[in-house]
Amino acid sequence: MTSTTRLTTHRIVVAPPRPGSATRPRHHRGDAHDPLAVATVPRARRATARRLKRLVDAVGSALALLSLAPLFALLALAIVLDSPGPALFRQERCGLGGRPFTLLKFRSMHAEATTEHPMPGANDADGPLFKLRADPRVTRVGRLLRRHSLDELPQLVNVLRGEMSLVGPRPALPREVDQYCGRARARLLVLPGLTGPWQVGGRSDLDWDAGLRLDLAYVHAWTPSTDARVLVRTIGAVLRPTGAY
C-alpha cells in the first residue's frame, strides 16, 4: 500500500528593515523580487525533524563546550597576552526572523579597533558584506584564529542558548540585513549557524550571489542528513582553511 504526501506552502513575513534605517535594501544581481517581498516557502518540516535538530544542537554544543574547555582557556590566554583587552568579543547579530541577539567570538582585533569600515572604499567583498584580506585591525593571534575559524568557537554558547544552530546560514550584522533584497531575506527563515553551506563551499572566496544561492538552497531543502554532511565537511574546511580571512 502506498501513501501520498501533500506538499503545501504558506507565507511568512520576514523582518522588514529597521525603522529609521538610512540604508535602502539593494536589488542584487539575479534577484527580481521587491525589497519587501513576502517569502513563500514550503511548510515547516516534520515536527520530529525540528525537535531532532534542536536536540542535536543542545547535546552537541554542551559536549563540545565541556571537551573544548582546556582549548578555550589556552586561546583566551594567548589573546590577552598578544594584545590588551578582553578575550571575548560581543556583537549584535540578526537571528531567526531578524530578531537581534548577542553573538560571542574570541577577540581577533585590537580592542580599540572599530568594527566599522577602517577606511572609505576599502572592501574585498561584494553585496552587503564587508571583508578585508589584510585587515590592519586584526592581531597576530587573531590571524591564526580566523584562519582556522577558532574565533567562532564561543558561539557554541549561542547554540546552547537556542539563539543559533550548529548548521545554518551565518548570522548577519544588522547593517547587512538593512541592505537585503527580498530574496536574501529568506536567510532569516531559519536559525543562523555556527557553520553552514557557504562556509564549506568556499568561504570568503565566494561572491555574494554564489554564497546566497548556497544558503537559500539550504533554507528551502533542509534535512537532518544535510546538517550531518555540512558538519563533516566543516572539519575539512577548518583543517584546509581556503578562503578564510
Domain residue spans of the chain: 45-239
Confidence grade of residue 191 (pLDDT, cut at 50, 70, 90): very high
127 in the Ramachandran plot: left (φ > 0), alpha (ψ -120 to 50) or beta? left
pLDDT digits (tens, 9 = 90+) for 28-71: 444 434 333 334 444 555 678 888 999 999 999 999 999 999 99
Furthest-apart CA pair in the chain: how many Å? Answer: 69
Q: Please give the Cα distance from 176 to 169 (Å, whole number).
A: 14
Look up residue 156 and give its amino acid.
L
Q: Please give the Cα distance from 47 to 220 (Å, whole number).
A: 16
- Read off the pTM: 0.78
Q: Is 76 exposed, middle or buried (0-12, 13-18, 19+ CB in 10 A)?
A: middle
pLDDT of residue 116: 54
Q: Is 8 exposed, middle or buried (0-12, 13-18, 19+ CB in 10 A)?
A: exposed
pLDDT digits (tens, 9 = 90+) for 112-144: 875 555 555 665 554 566 566 667 888 999 999
Cell of 121: 572604499
pLDDT of residue 112: 83
**How confident is the prediction for the chain on average, in pLDDT?**
79
Whether the per-residue pLDDT at 78 is higher than 60: the answer is: yes
